[in-house]
Structure 1
């Protein structure tokens, strides 16, 4: 295994309170030291001047149960190390029934580190919940899911409570209640999706007031549980149908709940501006890429499109965790907080802060190196809102356990010049 001396990059490690131009020495697959003017004759010197050198990035919202979840699941290394991301947290792909296959065919062969928030549903994340009838409350087995989570602590870091299209319309809060019970019994955080959670009128059923959903779910949750998609353009989450910040949001944060930006198809610059201006700064950041919002070829025979058209990302169909970081910067979120969202805060969400999320000497050498360009670029969201930014981050390479992988994933975007 090669040793590396990453020379004179801007090293940002929020966990260590570090933001300065210095060197990072990697030896034997671990962080050896971080400091100025390091010397290592046995190391390959990599010139990182003008670059950002960060703890290995952690994507809190990945969908990488490739093939088993149909078109929905992407290749883990394409989303991971080939995009400059060293750790992926799959959100709800595997279930208590399919976790062994996830370990065997996804986790073990991948260069990226892959862990999971286990689906509360027996079928997991099949086709992004294309078949809504598979996601009713009687398709949840609390005891079996708790048993699986407790037997696989190295892999299962939380529970995903899916909000499949129309779930509240059809079955009310019962699926969320059962998911929360799994989280309590397994002593794991529950990741709650707030997106579009009711069917379109032509789907039939009773009308649902989306502004009541957060009220119904809030009492089920515990400190450390995660509220996802705070920047979703759909009511039923943090911004109500009249464009106001939900009054329960502050209470949720005071009770120790966390906010995660699952970017993907739900992200709205307009709503993000409202939430940020109200003083709510999300804790962590996930890309939320999947086979319905990227340009990767779909497996033969899978659906050509998703019944929830909002799965289809209109702004562009090539993106990554790093491009989601660029969106945060364009909104005025400080760089150090953006880095914390994708490193130590993400590690804490998965209770892995003793393993990843920092460049502390002795830790496994997971390191991400980004370019930090200046210019003028146009960013677009799913509402076709456009934001002009003067800063663009791009992944160059990462070290995963000391092994260098260049960022050459086919889904990496090339932003439009302003």
Structure 2
């Protein structure tokens, strides 16, 4: 990439290692911003009069990080919903996708009270259910087929395509024991009607009803034929039954390979499901996540609120707090190449959202959403939600965010730093 204009710059990031997986660029370089857009990228750029210069030597410079699985419908979704900017620009993330928080009934509130006021870009995968994400882990009865309005959800989704980038639903043994795959079929119809991806949660959420599901593998076996190319399977590394790992064999289910072959994508959806053991099995099978959603919510990470570390009020008490950059560090520790990890939260995430012409890359002309990261070296103790531990030799730590070219300090309590992991 070269300097594209002799016009004045507003800001130059000087001397960082710039990694742009969309263009294949990886080198120490200067990045210039003008009018909220990427203006130039070159080994050295002269600072024009009035330009602000920020020295980022020794740091990584990437396109703004994109979290494809957030829960930021604050207040409306109860304790689930975190503040969007604490999870967003104040933690190095420029774009957030709320997974299933807003529904056809609550989307106007999501737009007015969450998306519009936030400094971060806040989009959503609209819930297939009328109630959206109203702490559904506690109220399974809210998520049956009678709680879905296919026609109206399609109408609302089409009318709000600037925000609605997909549809969220759950395929897990608690739901299957109640309704079979009826809700998934409704959600798939909605996604087709809006022409957006269907994003499917895997791994048990609710207790099974009556006789339950005799064979948890039947969930994914019946799910995959319903899905289309471009749809997304989430939580591939879940420790709960009904996911990528067969309860019959203890290995990756063969239908996962069939799903990937037909163009179905994989999102990590880290959250409270992540298991090092399961991740190692899936990755060893050659399966790589396409995107990396953090799946932070008020029950599984510390965001400065009272009670986050309280055993009685928090069902996930004891799980290591985390953020998107910690989830990136875990993938790196599990052997994913650096460029592949970066792609999951930039280039690939932008493609999933249909926004590759705006974000996910540092090519001149695109929106100046930029993340500056330290890659700290050491021995960092990681712990999954089942209590298993691993050691990482490197930790991504966000240092600075640019949103539309505007520098924003990284000061969120959700950010995991080296001192938290010793």
Q: TM-score, normalised by structure 2?
A: 0.93
Q: Which one of the candidate residues 384, 388, 393 is aligned to 1:390?
A: 393
| 1:353 and 2:356 aligned | yes
Task: Tell me by how many angstroms 1:163 deviates.
Answer: 4.2
How do 1:54-203 and structure 2 match up within 5 A?
54-163=62-171, 166-197=174-205, 199=207
Matched, 1:24 2:31: yes
- The alpha-carbon deviation at position 208 of structure 1 amounts to 3.5
User: d(CA) in 1 for partners of 2:133 and 2:112?
Assistant: 17
- Runs of 4+ with >4 A deviation: 303-306, 415-418
1:410 to 405, 408, 413: 413
Tell me which residue corresponds to 1:325: 328
CA contact (8 A) 1:129 1:164 kept: no
For 1:282 and 1:89, locate their aligned partners in 2 and report how far apart those are by CA, in whole Å.
Answer: 17
Q: Output aligned runs, 1:299-310, within 5 Å.
A: 305=313, 309=315
2:3 maps to which residue?
Answer: none
The DSSP-based 3-state class of the residue aligned with 1:378 is: strand
**Matching residue of 1:217:** 223
Give 1:280's aligned residue.
Answer: 287
3-state SS in 2 of match to 1:263: coil
Maintained 8 Å contact 2:167/2:187: yes
1:339-360 C-alpha deviation (Å, 9 max, x unpaired): 0000010111111111110111
Q: Does 1:253 align with 2:257?
A: no
- Residues 149 and 186, structure 1, Cα contact 8 Å, conserved in 2: yes
1:120 to 1:417, Cα distance in 2 relative to 1, 3 A? closer
Q: Secondary structure at the match of 1:284?
A: coil
Alpha-carbon contact 2:173-2:216 (below 8 Å) kept: no
- On the 8 A contact 2:368/2:404 being kept in 1, the answer is yes
What is the 5 A alignment of 1:334-349? 334-349=337-352
- Residue 207 of structure 1 deviates from its aligned partner by 3.7
Structure 1 segments unaligned to the other structure (5+ residues): none
The 2-side partners of 1:366 and 1:184 are apart by 30
SS of 1:333's equivalent? coil
Which whole-Å CA distance do the structure 2 matches of 1:131 and 1:164 have between them? 15
Counterpart among 313, 318, 326 of residue 314 in structure 1: 318
Gaps of 5+ in 2: 1-8
Q: Tell me which residue corresponds to 2:235.
A: 229
Structure 1 stretch displaced more, 82-91 or 236-245: 236-245
Mapped partners of 1:61, 1:135: distance in 2? 19
Shift of 1:29: 1.2
2:85 & 2:312 partners in 1: Cα distance? 24
What is the SS of the residue equivalent to 1:262? coil
Q: Deviations over 1:172-218 (max 9, x none)?
A: 11111100111111111000000115516xx6443442111101111
Among 51, 66, 91, the alignment partner of 2:59 is: 51
Distance 1:417 1:266 in 2: 20
Task: Count residues with an aligned counterpart.
Answer: 408
